[in-house]
Amino acid sequence: MTLTVLTALSHDWEGRMVEVVDRLPGVSVGRRCVDLADLLAAASAGLGDVALVSADLRGLDRDALAHLRAHGVAVVGASHAADEGQERRLRQLGVDRHVQVATPGEDLLATLTSARSARTACATDAQVGWPGEDPPTAPIEPVTDLTPPPPTPVEPARGQVIAVWGPTGAPGRSTLAVNLASELAAAGAPTVLIDLDTYGAAVAQLLSVLDEAPGLASAARASELGTLDLMGLARLAVEVSPRFRVLTGIPTPSRWPEVRSAAVEHIIELSRSLAAFVVLDLGFGIEDDEELSYDTAAPRRNATTLGGLAEADDLLLVGAADPVGLQRMVRAVQGVGQVASPPPRPVVNRLRASSVGSDPRRRVETSLARFAGVDGVAFLPDDPAAADAALLAGQTLAECAPDSPLRQAIAQLAATFTGGAVPAGRASGRGLLRRRA
């Protein structure tokens, strides 16, 4: 099978690289792209298997690389000679393979072939199955070497991602996300809270964080350019209390195009190494219909929420305890089941008898079990006095109203993740306004 290569390289040495590649057996150059737009168009048209790109390609970022991979094109970095800076930048963007003009032909062929094979394996791995029969197995060989195997390397710990999502209508997503992250940190687990709501980011206001350069937009921009690392993310995520960091959202909804899905995935993955728990405050929109009205390469406003749901390990689905809120919650359970996400764990907020009738807990549990097919519902009581006091002070419930029923309920919910006891007592306040150090 012929391997077709697309090139998008520096004009100074692009001709020499094409000449080297074209001499390889079973390899042909399908298109010599003049710029990034030409490369993306060729990939979308299915004209190549592997793309050779140089680090100085104008406009090359993480989103462009995600576009290439989404169309089945593996990416290999290339340079004229050994250049540590260019190779480092490509690796920071997620390009693991790198060649040079002087790379021996057999090594160059092996790199291009392995890149395509790895890409093909990733695309088909989920489709492999053996319905109705056991998979074939290799014959069992007698054991002749009794040498103990080398120890398996221990993988670094990865933080647990908890997505907080719910339907439209302000059911209390941000309030739960902020206070859940606060309780996880209070239990001794380093926690990062990321505001991914592109419609109405509110975490900064809830915690009185003054931030002229929004954390999420800055992190996304650095990720696209390949300059975001763990230390950079730690600098952008302001520490509002011990073990509790916050990556604030975009200040105005009009800036949503600055946050691309590939950057969001990278930020979440880095956050797993920064903290034991990563809490995502997501927007309500999960519809993917925007692709019908835009070019498929255009940014999508709901991509941050969809990406957060796909990356999450656990999902808390928040709904309001009233007839409208419960109806929206039932539909939300059905809607989120159609996108990549963990099984939802329902959380009913502002539970009160005045909105659903006597014995509200039983009524809500019965309704959700009947119409949405969910059980194990967590309930948060209606506690407007504590919620208003925390909002006015720009503090968490643990700081402002540690003995309130709402705070205790969220602490119990957090304990189901940490496996610890519910914290009690008054947490120390941090003042009204928190500023980046």
DSSP string, 302-355: THHHHHHHHH-SEEEEEEESSHHHHHHHHHHHHHHTTSS-PPEEEEEEEE-HHH
Q: Which strands make up the sheet holding 191-196, listed edge to edge?
A: 238-241, 244-247, 191-196, 277-282, 160-165, 314-320, 344-351, 378-381
| pLDDT for res 422 | 63
Query: Which residues in 366-375 are b (16+ Cβ under 10 Å) and which e?
Result: ebbeeebebe
Query: Distance between CA atoms of 119 and 50, rounded to whole angstroms?
Result: 9
**Among 11, 15, 13, residue whose Cα is nearest residue 29:** 15
**Which residues, other chains included, contact 366 with Cβ-Cβ below 8 Å and sequence gap of 6+?**
none
| Dihedral sign from CA coordinates of 376, 159, 283, 186 | positive
Q: Does domain 3-121 have CATH number 3.40.50.2300?
A: yes
Closest Cα to residue 264, out of 249, 244, 274, 242? Answer: 249
CA-angle at 430, arms to 234 and 425, nearest 5°: 110
Evaluate whether 17 touches 7 at the Cβ level (below 8 Å): yes
> What does the pLDDT read at residue 130?
40
Structure tokens at 54: 């140089």
Query: What is the side-by-side order of every strand in the sheet holding 27-32?
Result: 27-32, 3-8, 50-54, 74-79, 98-100
This prediction's pTM: 0.77
- Nearest 5°: the CA angle 287, 292, 298 is 90
> Cβ distance 176 to 380 under 8 Å?
yes
Per-residue pLDDT of the chain (437 residues; tens, 9 = 90+): 689 999 999 888 888 889 888 889 999 999 999 999 999 999 988 999 999 999 888 888 888 898 899 899 999 999 888 778 888 888 888 898 999 888 888 888 899 988 888 776 665 544 444 444 444 444 545 544 555 556 655 555 789 999 999 999 989 999 999 999 999 999 999 999 999 999 999 999 999 887 555 689 999 999 988 889 999 999 999 899 999 999 999 988 888 888 988 899 999 999 999 999 999 999 999 987 554 445 555 668 898 999 999 999 999 999 999 999 999 999 999 999 999 999 999 999 999 999 998 999 999 999 999 999 998 999 999 999 999 999 999 999 999 999 999 999 999 999 999 987 666 555 444 444 454 44
What's the CATH architecture for 160-435? Answer: 3-Layer(aba) Sandwich (3.40)
Phi-psi region of 189 (alpha: psi -120 to 50; beta: other; left: phi over 0): beta
Amino acid 297: pLDDT: 57
Residue 225's SS3 state is helix
Tell me the domain boundaries of the chain: 3-121, 160-435
Q: What backbone phi and psi angles, to 5 degrees, belong to 72?
A: 75, 20
CB-CB neighbours of 252 under 10 Å: 8
Q: What are phi and psi of 81, to 5 degrees?
A: -145, 180
Q: Which residues contact 108 (CB under 8 A, 6 or more apart)?
A: 20, 21, 24, 99
DSSP letter assigned to residue 15? H
CA dihedral of residues 321, 322, 328, 334 (deg, nearest 10): 50
